[in-house]
Structure 1
Amino acid sequence: MPSTTVQSLSRATTATFEELALLFPEHELSPEQAAAPLDVAVSVEFRGPLRGRLVLRASSLILPSITANMLGEDASRQRPLQRDALGELANVICGNLLPAIAGVEAVFHLSAPYVHEGVDDVSRDADAPTASLMFGLEEGRAEAVLYVFGDRDGVESIAQGAVSAA
Structure 2
Amino acid sequence: MSSTTAQSLSRATTATFEELALLFPETELSPEQAAAPLDVGVSVEFRGPLTGRLVVRASQTILPAIAANMLGEEESKQLPLQRDALGEIGNVICGHVLPLIAGADKIFNLAAPVIHESGVLPQRDRDRPAAVVQVGVEDGRAEAVLYIFAGAAAGTASAA
* Structure 1 residue aligned with 2:123: 124
Q: AA paired with 1:142?
A: A
Determine which structure has the larger helix proportion and give its number: 1
* Structure 2 residue aligned with 1:103: 103
TM-superposition CA deviations, 1:120-153 (whole Å, max 9, x none): 2x2412511110001100000000000000159x
With normalisation by structure 1, the TM-score equals 0.86
Q: AA paired with 2:11?
A: R
Percent identity (aligned): 69
* Structure 1 residue aligned with 2:113: 113
* Structure 2 residue aligned with 1:158: none
1:5 has 2:12 as partner: no
SS at match of 1:92: helix
State how far apart, in whole Å, the 2-side matches of 1:39 and 1:84 are.
Answer: 15
SS at match of 2:129: coil
Find runs of 4+ consecutive structure 1 residues off by over 4 angstroms.
Answer: none
| C-alpha distance 75-109 of structure 1, shift in aligned 2 (>3 A) | farther
Contact 2:21 2:66 in 1 (8 A): yes
State how far apart, in whole Å, the 2-side matches of 1:149 and 1:14 are.
Answer: 24
With normalisation by structure 2, the TM-score equals 0.89
1:46 has 2:64 as partner: no
TM-superposition CA deviations, 1:73-120 (whole Å, max 9, x none): 366100000000000010001001100000011110000111013322
State how far apart, in whole Å, the 2-side matches of 1:66 and 1:11 are.
Answer: 18
Contact 1:75 1:81 in 2 (8 A): no
CA-based RMSD: 1.5
State how far apart, in whole Å, the 2-side matches of 1:74 and 1:11 are.
Answer: 28
Q: Structure 1 stretches of 5 or more lacking a match?
A: 153-166
State how far apart, in whole Å, the 2-side matches of 1:143 and 1:80 are.
Answer: 20
* Structure 2 residue aligned with 1:144: 144
State how far apart, in whole Å, the 2-side matches of 1:123 and 1:42 are.
Answer: 11
* Structure 2 residue aligned with 1:161: none
